[in-house]
Amino acid sequence: MENLIQESISLANQTSYKVGGDAQWYAAPRNWDELEASFEWYQHQDVPLTLLGAGSNLLISDRGISGLVLSTRYFRSYEFDPETGLLTADAGEAIAKLAWKAAKRGLKGLEWAVGIPGTVGGGVVMNAGAHTSCMADILVSATVLSPDGTIKEMKPEDLAYSYRNSNLQGGNNMVVKATMQLEPGYSKTEIMELSNQNWTQRKTSQPYHLPSCGSVFRNPQPHAAARLIEQLGLKGYKIGDAQIAHRHANFILNCGTATAKDIFELIRYAQEKVEYHCSISLEPEVKLIGEF
């Protein structure tokens, strides 16, 4: 357990945006013993707790995060049951990796996730989705650890799922494991073909060449956020080194030296323009952490 809790750790390289300040305290447990030790340390401190997965849907302030940042990025293991189609995975497993592994086993139900840059834990919390499918469609249960150390199994109906949302957002309940129901009995060729089609569509329609968080805004149904932003001529608009992508207007890119402040101000700029011209409020899908 030595050196499990570290002080003043940079978080910039732990987010897909490659920006953000330091964590006052930081822990990245690799097993249950280290996870329990991290929580025990936290429970004896008078500090806030922030949970961090792969950092793919986050914008962390340049000022960093006070308190303990607890990352599940190394909390990884998974198991497929080829007969029943059940998949059980720890929170730190990459959703995209599991999607490809499921496809190679002829298991249907996760092929929508081949381009999703997040983890299982984050996917459960935010009801990750693409291609008209989402986590709520396949989740059987999630193992959740509360800040007081209690563990409970939660079903989809317990999570109040909606579009890119659940009642786990905004709290410090930590998803540590999830079980998903996939469909067995399909040919590997068929599922691999579907997965490749989804991956090709994402690569051709979304920018992957520069750091981003994926989609910045939730789609304000029945509208598409990208279309609203594009109609206002904002593709390519920059603040500092943050830019609204030419390829997909719901992506904001770090063109090399952007700060979290640049990205935050560009998010607010797009919101203000859409609100003024379209009378539509764009709600961020990206989670903002820290002081801006």
Residues designated as active site: 164, 215, 285
Q: Are strands 49-52 and 58-60 parallel, antiparallel or unpaired?
A: unpaired
CA angle 102/157/58 to nearest 5° reads: 65
Burial class (CB in 10 A: 0-12, 13-18, 19+), 67: middle
Residue 155 zone, left/alpha/beta (φ > 0; ψ -120 to 50; rest): beta
CA distance 225 to 206: 14
Alpha-carbon distances, residue 291 vs 66, 123, 175 (angstroms): 10, 25, 25
The answer to whether 215 and 251 are in contact (CB under 8 A) is yes
120: nearest Cα among 61, 168, 48, 50? 168
CA distance 93 to 119: 5
CA angle 119/12/30 to nearest 5° reads: 45
Phi first, then psi, for residue 234 (nearest 5°) are -95, -5
Burial class (CB in 10 A: 0-12, 13-18, 19+), 78: middle
264: nearest Cα among 234, 242, 232, 236? 242
For residue 267, the SS3 value is helix
